[in-house]
Chain A
Amino acid sequence: MAPAEAASPLSEENFARIVDALGSDPARRSELIGFLDERHSVYRERGTAAVARMRGWTLLTLARRPLQNDEVVFVLEELQTGRTAYEVACAARAMRSTANPVPAMASLLLRAAANVRAVDDHVDLVRYGGVNDAEDASSTATDVLIDTLAWLGTAVAGVREVVETALQSGDPPLSPRQRERVERCLAQCTAGAVGGPPACCTPGAGWTGLRRWLARTRADPHAIAFEDQDGGLVRYGDFFRGQPTVVVFFYTRCNNAGKCSLSVSKLARIQRMLVEAGLGHRVQTAAITYDPDYDLAPRLRGYAQSRGMRMDARNRVMRSVEGAAELRLHFELGVNFISSIVNRHRIEAFLVDGQGNITTSFERLQWDEQQVMSEAVALADRTDATAPADACGGTPPATVVSPAKRKRIWLAPLAYLAMALLPKCPICGATYLSLSGIMALPHLGHIYWMVPALAVLVVINLASLGWLARTREDWRAFALALLGGALTIGGGIALDHQASIYAGIAVSLIGGMLGLAGTRVVLGGGRANAGTTCARPTLRLGPSPEPASSSSLETLATPAR
């Protein structure tokens, strides 16, 4: 539980001003997106309604410029699970800034209209505040959703049947004017313009950034102790051991039926699917509350029971009784509090392996039970393949091979392969690192050690190019690689700026290629001795540039204000 803290000194009026200023400066877009992170300190000790207004205004401001694919996820999240008229209306308006409208968006808009049917209200999207009680104001959240549906234009054709079914069933209920708008939109559509779902609709494990790495290294999951639905105590390391676990987060007082209640119901469905597939003994499940002070054991049991969850030693509903802060850090939970109450959270589910490490996370958008189950079973397969059979179960191998011997069997060919492929000179090193290492790392977002690994690789790359540059007295390639490294580490990792990563990779590549090209020229130009240096087994490491100063790391570890 978050300790009660002094109310944030930033007024909503000033927040709106800051957001407006950020919105008018394209270079500070990442700061604007930072306000959509539930954990942002600006939301601490704010009421739920205030958080909704602030996030809604941020979405509207963000959408003053075309939305990038990785930004659209915030819009889709709100349309899928939002239950406040203002925030949903803001998301619908923001959707009109997407570059490529696709049919899936129409389905989401209709779903959002159904979600807000019981909370609809007049909204004001021009001024900060949300509610509009002026007599001449006529836009409700549903109006904004339908207007956006009409804006989608011919893209609606791809989900024509869905829209027609919605119209016929009266869900969501539409006024005659809204109905007429949808019918007009359908009439304009030509059948056959079916598109696929947008890439942005699938939550992925993206580049996580230095902040996430730092946060994770600060968290010690072994400090976490849980109480389960029966009052039993279990430590993190004892429960998350041996078998993979599907974990969802929730709290019993969540009033959004599309979030906590649905997540626990879906976890119960995964349990049933696992049992039906005969895999119930291979995957554990856990539902953990965000609100451990209030969600005591009997409440947890009742809540989970009423949603069909099976509970036993391997399937538990839990609250943290020690290490609540570590729990939030370890799972990087997207949640914030006012006093002891959750004021905002996102949907989040995780797969945790048999060693207690998080291997996969599903955030913001609704996750699919079948997909989560498949990934959990695949993880169980990997665990079974690597872990020795324990005394409690599993078939012992026909031939007992000692762990050391097994290691040697695996390591020997790998070592040969590594020797064959590893760069054996600075030129090869620079090229390898530029072409493969740096390029591939951004796609390994879920690997927690990627940040230091990338930093080391960048330093090695720079050192090798520096060595070449000093030999040739030509520092152009080194300067480019240095710039690339700074962009990747500084802008990309530290500031979580996707464009910086790719720009850094591109510049590093050019640096690497230039270094390589320069060497060829030199080799052909009479400095043959330079070629012999390729065989030298060691590299001389020059002074390595720091990826970021320690003070800036500290600053980045906490979300920017």
Chain B
Amino acid sequence: MASTSSKPPRRRAPTTDAAALASHSAVLADPRKSVKQRLAALTALGWAITDDPQRLAAVLGLLKDPSEPMRLRLAALAAIQSSTFHPERLEKIRADYLRALRTVSSDADLELRQRALGMLAREHDPATQERLIDGLREPSKALVPPEKALQLLSYDVHSNAYSVARAIVDAPPNETARREALRLLAADGASAQMFEDILMDKAETSEIRQLSASALHNLAPDRLQACARRITLDPSEPSDIRSVGVTALTHFGDNDAMQQDHVLNACLTQLGDGGDGEDPMLQTAARQYIAKRLA
């Protein structure tokens, strides 16, 4: 499309001047300069960090050096990470970048460690995945809390984390870790029965049962339909779980089977027409069912 403006758009001048880049690099590497000055130099270097192997090595060295101020190290990590959003830039530096991340993934600082592990997990780094699993099996080796480790492992279905996640579901160190383990197992075809059992277990919390319903829909939709029907027809179930059941039947149920299910339809008609005593959320869900399936 032709431009209607005679004035070219204003562009910020890129930091490509060799002398300026050398000056910024010198400031960044000088420990006598203040953290503020060094941070400013790092910002000024921008993506140019990855253009020169020596400059990259200097920033990676700063990141790995535990004697450097943590603010500066975190800023160095962010600067390198931002340049890796560009695939071609990442490809050029990838091997050195991963090696530096693996080094700082054992750093004493939890935030730096956690961020490095997050980046490595997103790259599906096998060594990182194995260290996270080791930490789940032996908490004394853990680099991050178990719920965080499970979250990072869930980035890759081939991370070999299903067996350890099942063990955590059975004997969780805390409820958050159990929830994350269930989230991870939502992609495991062999866990459908476990999710069905949890969904039908009234002793479980609503959050965990809803999560199980979602996982079961992912792994075995037919089994979710059967469970949803049982839950809907069971007045002793909490209203929020019954609402989940009705919603599942409304949106994912087999239409022919639903229309011939007179017991279910009578129940939902009664719920939809219910008086003030009925839970509004359940009532709304029942009305949606009637509108979609019985209209």
Interface residues of A (CB under 8 A from B): 1, 4, 7, 46-50, 52, 117-122, 130-131, 133, 140, 173, 175, 253, 255, 291, 293-294, 296, 338-341, 343
Contacts and interface: CB of A to CB of B under 8 A. Distances in A.
Contacts of A291: 189
Given A49-B126, A121-B94, A294-B219, A133 B163 contact: no
A340 B190 contact: yes
A48 B158 contact: yes
A121 B98 contact: yes
Contacts of B127: 131
A122 B103 CA distance: 13
Nearest to B156: A255
Contacts of A7: 163
Contacts of A120: 91, 94-95
B163 A339 contact: yes
Nearest to A138: B95
A93 B218 CA distance: 43
B189 A293 contact: yes
B190 A49 contact: no
11 contacts: A48-B126, A49-B130, A120-B95, A121-B99, A122-B95, A122-B99, A130-B126, A255-B124, A340-B162, A340-B188, A340-B190
A175 B91 CA distance: 10
Interface string B86-110: 0110111011001100110000000
B91 A173 contact: yes
Interface residues of B, number: 31
A341 B88 contact: no
A339 B157 contact: no
Contacts of B189: 1, 291, 293-294, 340
A405 to B, nearest CB: 52
B190 A133 contact: no
A417 B103 CA distance: 77
A1 B90 CA distance: 37
Contacts of A1: 189-190
B190 A339 contact: yes
Contacts of A50: 160
Contacts of A140: 95
Interface string B113-130: 000000000001011011
Contact of A173 (B88, B98, B221): B88
B29 interface: no
A52 B126 CA distance: 10
B187 interface: yes
B190 A117 contact: no
B187 A294 contact: yes
B166 to A, nearest CB: 9
Contact of A341 (B102, B162, B219, B221): B162
B99 A49 contact: no
B159 interface: yes
A47 B158 contact: yes
Contacts of B162: 338-341
B273 to A, nearest CB: 34
Contact of A121 (B92, B95, B190): B95
Contact of A293 (B130, B163, B190): B190
B92 A48 contact: no
Nearest to A3: B190
Contact of B157 (A122, A130, A253, A296): A253
Contacts of B92: 173, 175
Interface in B157-173: 157-160, 162-163
A117 B130 contact: no
